[in-house]
Amino acid sequence: MNASDRHENHNSADKGFRKYLHSILIFLVFETIAVVLWLAKGNLFYLFNFTYIGASLALGLFLFTRKVPHARRIVQLLVGLYMLVYLGIICRENMQIEGFWYYLFLGTFEAATIHYAVAKIFGPLLFGRGWCGYACWTAMVLDFLPYRIPKAPRKKLGFLRYVTFSGSLALVIGLFLTVRNGLEKIMFLLFLIGNILYYAIGILLAFLFKDNRAFCKYLCPITVFLKPMSYFSLARIQVDTDRCINCHRCERVCPMDVKILDPSRKRENGTECILCMECKNACPKQAIR
Ligand code: SF4
Ligand code: SF4
């Protein structure tokens, strides 16, 4: 093998490595969190938990890079079912927003408070609303409904998210003030009832508005945390203007109505992006990064 062949081999290995850089980086970020929390809290659970989530996300990105169909759905099921069935139902950790308020008022930095800090409050500065695209167990089900691309324009109902957000806070404050015993048990029941309600309302809204993600757009209380933080997100969809031919295909397939062609952070519905990459798949010029 001559020097030029060796140089070419080296270049293609380098390109191959770069292709999977996102996948490696996301695993390393979660593994760092796993090790830090394991050592800080002296609890092996954190090592297992965040390694599992990081490995699932890295696998999804790896599959996506290799253009494997349904890569995102695979991650949604791996992470969503783990959180709903294992953490929520088997381990009885209330990971819903009521669980977050509950642990916050108890002053405990465990389970739901750690989960919110990583996935929904500080994490979005790095990976935006990746939670909504790859891990949320409510959206995991909604994404199987028939209106992946919304069939009707967005409604002006976003204010409702502040009503559900305040309602969840008021509910937990009320419980703290009135219930003396058995609050843990009530929180578990709330988790079950809350999830059944979310699924029922989410499915109803999807059919009513012909839009799978209507629940995410109008009602989900978590977006009150997610939207402002993801405004500053490091990971964001950008368009290479040299390649773009302004066909607007990306905007037509976006489930969250993001005005992708506007490069600014203030673009319409910019903080709604769930990094699902439907726009990237639809672009005929590979202009989306
Ligand atoms: S907006 Fe709410 S329900 Fe929708 S994916 Fe995000 S966290 Fe889940
Ligand atoms: S289609 Fe593109 S802009 Fe729209 S939510 Fe998905 S990744 Fe974000």
226-236: pLDDT as tens digits: 999 999 999 99
Average pLDDT over the chain, rounded to an integer: 93
Q: Phi and psi (nearest 5°) for 239?
A: -110, 135
CA–centroid distance, 87 to ligand 1, in Å, is: 18
> In 10 A of CB 169, how many CB atoms?
17
CA–centroid distance, 140 to ligand 1, in Å, is: 9
Share above pLDDT 70 across residues of the chain, in percent, rounded to a whole number = 94
- Binned at pLDDT 50, 70 and 90, residue 11 comes out as low
Instruction: Note the pLDDT tens digit of each residue in 25-46.
Output: 999 999 999 999 999 999 999 9
Displacement of CA 113 from its chain's centroid (Å) = 16
Protein residue with least CA distance to atom 3, ligand 1: 216
Backbone torsion region of residue 268, taken as left when φ is above 0, otherwise alpha when ψ lies between -120 and 50, otherwise beta: beta
Residue 13 has pLDDT above 80, yes or no: no
Confidence (pLDDT) at 274? 97
Helix, strand or coil for residue 7?
A: helix
Q: How far apart are CA 19 and CA 176, in angstroms?
A: 50
Which token pair is 81? 């079912």
Tell me the best of 220, 225, 229 to mutate to test the pocket of ligand 1, counting ligand atoms within 8 Å of each CB and taking the most.
Answer: 220
Confidence (pLDDT) at 22? 86
Q: Is the CB of 132 under 6 A from ligand 1?
A: yes
Residue with tokens 């009135």: 178
Protein residue with least CA distance to atom 6, ligand 1: 132
Protein residue with least CA distance to atom 6, ligand 2: 276
Span 94-103, average pLDDT:
93
Protein residue with least CA distance to atom 2, ligand 2: 279
- Binned at pLDDT 50, 70 and 90, residue 98 comes out as very high
Are residues 239 and 287 in contact, defined by beta-carbon separation less than 8 angstroms? yes
Alpha helices in 128-255 (DSSP H): 130-134, 137-142, 160-178, 183-209, 214-218, 223-230, 249-253
Q: How far apart are CA 253 and CA 283, in angstroms?
A: 10
Residue with tokens 């990064």: 289
Tell me the best of 134, 249, 279, 280 to mutate to test the pocket of ligand 2, counting ligand atoms within 8 Å of each CB and taking the most.
Answer: 279
- Per the model's pLDDT, the better-predicted residue between 17 and 266 turns out to be 266
b/e 267-281 (16+ beta carbons within 10 angstroms → b) = bebbbbbbbbebbbe
CB under 8 Å to 172, separation ≥6 — which residues? 98, 101, 102, 105
Which token pair is 120? 């929904």
Residue with tokens 């031919």: 245
Span 137-165, average pLDDT:
97
CA–centroid distance, 188 to ligand 1, in Å, is: 20
The CATH class, in words, for 236-289 is alpha beta
Which token pair is 187? 């929180």
Protein residue with least CA distance to atom 5, ligand 2: 273
Residue 241 has pLDDT above 70, yes or no: yes
Span 149-157, average pLDDT:
95
Confidence (pLDDT) at 110? 80
User: In terms of Cα–Cα distance, which of 281, 260, 258 is closest to 65?
Assistant: 281
239 forms beta bridges with 288
Q: Phi and psi (nearest 5°) for 288?
A: -100, 130
Confidence (pLDDT) at 109? 83
Query: What sign does the CA torsion over 244, 247, 249, 250 have?
Result: positive
First to last CA, the chain: 36
Residues within 6 Å of ligand 2 by CB: 237, 254-256, 258, 260, 273-279
CA–centroid distance, 216 to ligand 2, in Å, is: 14
Ligand nearest the Cα of residue 135 is 1
Give the length of the chain. Answer: 289
Q: How far apart are CA 213 and CA 79, in angstroms?
A: 19
Question: Domain extents for the chain?
Answer: 69-230, 236-289
Residue 201 has pLDDT above 90, yes or no: yes
CA–centroid distance, 167 to ligand 2, in Å, is: 29
CB under 8 Å to 54, separation ≥6 — which residues? 26, 27, 28, 29, 30, 31, 33, 34
Are residues 200 and 140 in contact, defined by beta-carbon separation less than 8 angstroms? no
